A and B are shown apart, each in its own frame.
Chain A
Amino acid sequence: MQPFFLATSLIILFAVLLTLYRVIRGPAIIDRIIGVNVIGTKTIAVILLTGYLFNRVEFFVDIAVVYALINFIGALALSKYFERRGVEHKGLTR
């Protein structure tokens, strides 16, 4: 069963790589925020797959719980901050 977990983790990491292009080259700051949020959700799955890969799920699942909480609070805090401060958008003209 271990090669299946390894292959699944590698496919998810490839999806993270595709999302990382949007985080680096995103036209506005708000594209980067949604990219980081998506990467955080994928990281929870990768942490659990690593736990199955090492046969230590009961340790890694607590790390995944904390990561899910931090991901949600970080997305909310960033969206509130940039709602107050304003977002600059250079890609499309109004």
Chain B
Amino acid sequence: MTVLAVVLVCSGVFFLLMGAIGLLRFPDFYTRMHAAGKCDTLGSLLLLTGLACFGGIDLASVKILLIALFIFLTSPTATHAIARSAFTRNVPLWTKERAERQ
């Protein structure tokens, strides 16, 4: 059980770190949101499942699994709402021609 928890926590931390690097390096808003939304959801889901595996089955681990379910539902919703508000307000997209022109 502990080995499974350590593997889950390490993979979750890997995804969170890759999401942070993507948020730092990508050129425009929509690609940054692509990195942030997906890597953040999967990484925190793996990390919270691993943390719930540590203590065995008790009330705290059930609550941690409920937090993981909540994040799995709400993090894509929040990402979608922010991307929608950017798209309705005409935030420009990155294209190769525009990047070469500047």
Q: Is A6 an interface residue (CB 8 A)?
A: no
Number of interface residues of A (CB under 8 A): 51
Are A21 and B89 within 8 A (Cβ)?
A: no
Are A19 and B86 within 8 A (Cβ)?
A: no
**List of A residues within 8 angstroms of B81 by Cβ:** 75-76, 79-80
A31 to B82, CA, bound (A): 10
Chain B interface main SS type:
helix
Q: How far is the CB of A4 from chain B (nearest CB, A)?
A: 7
Interface flags for B72-102 (1: CB within 8 Å of A; 0: not) read 0011011101101110111110100010001
**List of A residues within 8 angstroms of B47 by Cβ:** 45
| A8-B9, A38-B36 known; A44-B23 Cβ under 8 A | no
Which residues of A does B touch, CB under 8 Å?
1, 4, 8, 11-12, 14-16, 18-19, 21-22, 28, 30-31, 33-35, 37-38, 41-42, 44-45, 48-49, 52, 57-58, 61-62, 64-65, 68-69, 71-72, 75-76, 78-80, 82-83, 86-87, 89, 91-94
Q: Can you give 23 contacting A-B residue pairs, CB < 8 Å?
A: A4-B9, A11-B17, A19-B23, A22-B32, A28-B29, A31-B29, A34-B29, A34-B32, A34-B33, A37-B82, A42-B44, A44-B71, A52-B54, A57-B55, A76-B78, A80-B81, A80-B85, A83-B84, A86-B89, A87-B91, A89-B92, A92-B98, A93-B98
Which residues of B does A touch, CB under 8 Å?
2, 6, 9, 12-13, 16-17, 19-21, 23-24, 28-29, 32-33, 36, 40, 44, 47-48, 51, 54-55, 59-60, 63-64, 66-67, 70-71, 74-75, 77-79, 81-82, 84-86, 88-92, 94, 98, 102
